[in-house]
Chain A
Amino acid sequence: MRTNGRIGFTTSCLLILLVCCFVMNGCSPKDDTSVAKTEDTQFTIKNKGSDTMVNLAQAWAEKYTDISTTASVEVSGGGSGTGVAALINGTVDIANCSRQIKPKELELATQNTGKVPQEFIVGYDALAVYVHQDTPIDRITIIQLAEIYGENGTISKWSELGISHSDCPSDKIIRISRQSNSGTYFYFREALLGKSRDFRIGSLDLHGSKDVVEVVGRTPCAIGYSGMGYATSHVKMLEVAADSNSPYYPPNLENVLAKTYPIARPLYMYSLGEPAGEIKIYLDWILSAAGQEIVKKLGFVPLENTGLMQN
């Protein structure tokens, strides 16, 4: 009998805690509504999705909530797929997506909510190829990247790229990738390998854009890919060319807009049906010069027609 004494005590403590939680939860919504009422009846725009875009969406939301008197914006991340799933279930007003919505998702959303999701391109993102700052390499081709990341690829050592990497004694390239459902993963795979080839297994599949850069910054042997807005002082962004006969371009605003940098993609927002009311005002603001200023500030590339590129 004694064997369970200790556990019994712990469990009962937990149970009490749990009950407390429920009681607290039961109370809190009341508090919320009373606060909201005194602050005027505000409309809350729910925004969810892409991990690549979460910082950007957060920055928009903060700025917009400051300047708007009638609406506030709630942002959460989780990934492009998560955002679209929420859109399908009708639980968000706007989904952020770093890839285009899939036909099946479009169909499901239309079926479930009776509204056709509308697409807005809200900016561009260049996927930078990151290495540790001490790696003696400055440029790489898409073909080399495909051989590093692709299935049955021929490059797995730094020496095979023609460099001797003294900080990486094992000479082995550590491939940093993303979890297999992220929009970034999909886009990078297609840009490198087309639709018919897969990534090689055995890469470290990290769970966020920021994590990739952080781990690469600590690992001399590593190579990774992430949005160029996530660069830190511990990593180096490589110049990328389509193949060894083409010119190399660093990831930056000019090269993305000129479409010379080979791995850049649009960032999307999807609303349920034609946006109206507060949601339309918010999307218009994002597409305006004021909204696009924030895009630029966060290291993404703003839309062409807003006049931001002159300065």
Chain B
Amino acid sequence: MNILRKKSAAHLPFSETAIELFIRLCGISSILFVFGIFFFVFREGAGFLFGGLDLGQFLTSVEWQPTSLNNKRYGAFALIVGTFSVTLLAMCIAVPFGLGAAIFVSEFCSPKLRETFKIIIELLAAIPSVVWGFIGLTLMNQLIISVFNAPIGLTMLNGSIMLALMSVPIIVSIAEDALKAVPDSYREAAEALGATRWQVVYRVLLPAAKNGLLAAVLLGAARSIGETMAVLMATGHSVNIPSGPLSWIRTLTATIAAELGEVARGDEHYQVLFIIGILLFTITFVVNLIADLVIKGIRQES
């Protein structure tokens, strides 16, 4: 392998150098994009963030009145609560299903079924979020009204179910890989000691793969926090502190999506929406960072 590489490096044709350069550029560009986006979002919001915005009010008040004529109030507390509550409920639904499916695919099903299963789960990931939103707005809305006898089906529960369906594929693929990464010798040793299949999973595999599983859950959660279109359509989009799964809510992302299109550039309202963007960026960055550190943890262990 090494000899081969050296040989080709010695007289490299021009086309290959060009391709290598192109690929290198692709790699660097992703870093540039991330920093570029962060810089842009920060620049648009910074003026108001450091001059004028009452940060205490922004983080603790529920009064979101950005278009008031004489008393503009930018309280994002209800939006923050909305984002976290819908994500939490979504994870309560998605984690048992996602991990359960991952355990089934990796430990219990036949190889042939496994391939079909994985293709179908990846298909689930390919459904655009606006389609999920549409399902939430029409089908799930009616379903929640008739099942829970709720006055309206556009609720936190509706949004959570949509988010859960969207994050399950992510959780399944990463969790399944984490389970597969547990060496077979663990399974063999447990079975040799007389453990049943369930005991192997519960007592050996889950503890051994716990970092990978945690990373799967966190990445699923990051997906939920950042999701926009589905929650905009399914949650009722109402500035409201939820009192239960059947309350309607509004998320940070949906607020940006609904309002940014019609706001005058450079306006206070415009800048506040970018400050919400900074907040979201920070939240997802922290979640992803934790997930990355956790994955790194597994790599070092294995």
Contact = CB atoms under 8 A, between A and B. Distances in A.
A207 B258 contact: yes
Given A1-B299, A79-B261, 15 more contacts: A3-B178, A3-B212, A3-B215, A3-B298, A3-B299, A7-B173, A10-B122, A10-B125, A81-B262, A169-B149, A172-B151, A201-B65, A201-B239, A206-B237, A221-B151
Contact of B263 (A81, A198, A199): A81
Interface residues of B, number: 48
B181 A2 contact: yes
Interface in B95-116: none
Interface string B55-74: 00000001111111111000
B78 A201 contact: yes
Given A172-B151, A186-B67, A219-B152, A205 B181 contact: no
A5 interface: yes
Give the bracket for the number of chain A residues in contact with chain B. Answer: 35 or more
A61 interface: no
A189 to B, nearest CB: 9
A125 B281 CA distance: 41
A181 B141 contact: no
Contacts, number: 113
Given A3-B212, A79-B261, A218-B142, A201 B64 contact: yes
A82 B63 CA distance: 25
A205 B250 contact: yes
A28 interface: no
Contact of B152 (A80, A202, A221): A221
Which of A105, A169, A201 has most B Cβ within 10 Å?
A201
B262 A182 contact: yes
B183 to A, nearest CB: 11
The 8 residue pairs across chains A and B that have the minimum distance between CB atoms: A81-B262, A181-B262, A201-B239, A221-B151, A179-B258, A79-B262, A180-B67, A204-B236
Nearest to B142: A218
A222 interface: yes
8 contacts: A5-B177, A7-B174, A168-B151, A201-B65, A201-B78, A204-B236, A206-B237, A221-B152
Contacts of B240: 201-202
B256 to A, nearest CB: 11
Nearest to B65: A198
A233 interface: no
B143 to A, nearest CB: 12
Interface string B280-302: 00000000000000010011000
B37 interface: no
B238 interface: yes
Nearest to B257: A207
B154 interface: yes
Contacts of B177: 2-6
Interface string A193-205: 0011011011111
A104 interface: yes
Contacts of A220: 151
A78 interface: yes
A201 B62 contact: yes
A62 to B, nearest CB: 25
Interface in A1-38: 1-7, 10
A187 B258 CA distance: 18
A112 to B, nearest CB: 11
